[in-house]
Amino acid sequence: MLHQQLSSLLAQTDIALTELQQQQLVQYVELLDKWNKAYNLTSVRNPSEMVVKHIMDSLMVAPHLSGKQYIDVGTGPGLPGIVLAIALPDTHFVLLDSLGKRVRFLMQVKHALGLDNVTPVQSRVEDYLPSVKLDGVLSRAFASLQDMVQWCEHLIDNSGRFIALKGQLPEQELDSLPTGVHFEQKISLEVPELDAERHLIILSKD
């Protein structure tokens, strides 16, 4: 049932996934649904809704990532990091969250799905120091652009990007970006069957 739903949603996009990748995404939804009952990982309770609101929403970011090393800050249950790691198996994602129960869930997902390209880490973002040079900081429903830049600026150098997945275009946040950071690009994302605006905001250091 979920597999059919995912296939039909993918058919409405330019994203091509293998049978294995689709199976991994469905398995991830099933794990999220199972663990959600005890761990309260997401307010979305219906697996079919998760496919649209979490899986497809996160997948639409994949075509816009060109680097090989990313960190997903405030990843929660792995959104968008787990989804992107499945879609982009040659790209590595650090999945950062401060809550132990979420990181335990991420370790379980990594093991169950055989994902070698994710590293779940329990830490506050301010305290985390990456061991490799990162191409970008990803966030989805994490914080304002100002807070994201302030908390994460030590994670990337001038060649890295801040990539924020937002709903409506955050005009006010864009108008008051901190010094040393500039707005590079906004991309409107069309998420199949999601009745909401979605934007990808890309910032870089001066």
Q: Parallel, antiparallel, or unpaired for β 161-166 and 69-73? A: unpaired
Q: Which residues are annotated binding-site positions?
A: 74, 79, 125-126, 140
Q: From the annotation, which residues make up the binding site for S-adenosyl-L-methionine? A: 74, 79, 125-126, 140
**How crowded is the C-beta side of 38, counted as CA atoms within 13 Å?**
7
Mutual orientation of helices 19-39 and 2-10 as an angle, nearest 10°?
A: 120
Whole-number CA gyration radius for the chain: 16
Find, among 161, 140, 156, 86, the residue nearest to 117 by Cα: 86
The angle at the Cα of 185, spanning 71 to 179, to the nearest 5 degrees, equals 75
